[in-house]
Amino acid sequence: MTVLRLYQIDAFHHQVLRGNPAAVMPLAQWLPDELLQAIALENNLSETAFFLPEQDGAFPLRWFTPAQEVRLCGHATLATAHALFQEIGITRPRITFQTLSGSLHVERLATGYRLDFPADAGTTIAPPPGLAAALGTAIQTTIAGKDDLLVIVAHQQQVADLAPDLAFIQQLPYRGLIVSAPGTAVDFVSRCFYPRFGIAEDPVTGSAHTLLTPYWAKTLGKNQLAARQISARTGILACEYHGDRVWLDGQAVTYLRGEVFLPD
């Protein structure tokens, strides 16, 4: 029998049972992809992060939803960094992950962590036919990113009231749909939907903010932004725009330490 460690970390919040939960699993070597996918499905969280011991200054890192592997994930990267710093005992202030999106860096701050991710400038496009009806609200701007489709609406309450047609969203040729508006107490708010990846609504989506941050930085004329993802669990992020990079600051807390037992 093979025994693997598992940590469940609540990311982008300072309290357990808030933010976005991610499973984090250290491995000695990569398991077969179908087994990694089966573990992620068993965990049944929006992401399970698997990482290997450090190689050439970076930890190889992969992310799986219950349905498939993804190219970039923010909250599970934050969760993995928290596990390395707080649970495994890395003492230096900065670590690097090698991923499908290249090198990602996480710095330990006095409170929380800073993710250094590639920015996604996006391209303004016409809204896909039927999108406004599927959202049940008027659309101001539509932006196609590398992975996601970003929709801008006028008011925070429109984002809060969304009850979108997930079957329609699932047919869009994007990883998922982000809906965002100016915030009443922060610079901007958002909600994120990923039915194609087995996630009706993601509680907090770090990778979405690589697209959100450049848009709102340019729109609001400021590079430092306070953001909230207003899902039921709520996420808290501080965002900084640096041209081709985005810094995302957030906290994380350990909810669970456990073991996974697999047959040999």
Q: Which residue ranges make up each domain of the chain?
A: 2-118+249-262, 123-243
| Given the residues 34, 42, 47, 107, the one annotated as active site | 47
- Residues 18-72 have pLDDT tens digits of 999 999 999 999 999 999 999 999 999 999 999 999 999 999 999 999 999 999 9
pLDDT of residue 254: 98
Beta bridge partners of 205: none
| pLDDT tens readout for residues 136-160 | 999 999 999 999 999 999 999 999 9
| Residue 258 in this model has a pLDDT that exceeds 90 | yes
- C-alpha distances (whole Å) from 120 to each of 19, 99, 125 are 23, 16, 15
- Structure token digits, residue 178: 């982000």
Residue 234 has what pLDDT? 97
Active site residue 42: no
Give pLDDT, residue 247.
98
- CATH number listed for the domain at residues 2-118+249-262: 3.10.310.10
What was the pLDDT predicted at 23? 98
pLDDT band at 264 (very low <50, low <70, confident <90, very high): confident
Domain 123-243: state its class.
alpha beta
For the four alpha carbons of 80, 83, 85 and 88, in that order, the dihedral sign comes to negative
Give the pLDDT score at 61: 98
pLDDT at residue 10 tops 90 = yes
Rounded (5°) CA angle 146-22-148:
15
Interatomic CA distance for residues 39 and 50, integer angstroms: 10
Closest CA to 96 of 64, 131, 65, 56: 56
pLDDT in tens, 111-135: 999 999 999 999 999 999 999 999 9
Residue 183 structure tokens: 């915030």
Decide which of 52 and 263 is more confident: 52
Average pLDDT for residues 172-180, to the nearest whole number? 98
Per-residue pLDDT tens over the stretch 64-109: 999 999 999 999 999 999 999 999 999 999 999 999 999 999 999 9
Residue (of 204, 210, 209, 207) closest to 235 by Cα position: 204
Structure confidence by residue, pLDDT tens digits, 206-241: 999 999 999 999 999 999 999 999 999 999 999 999
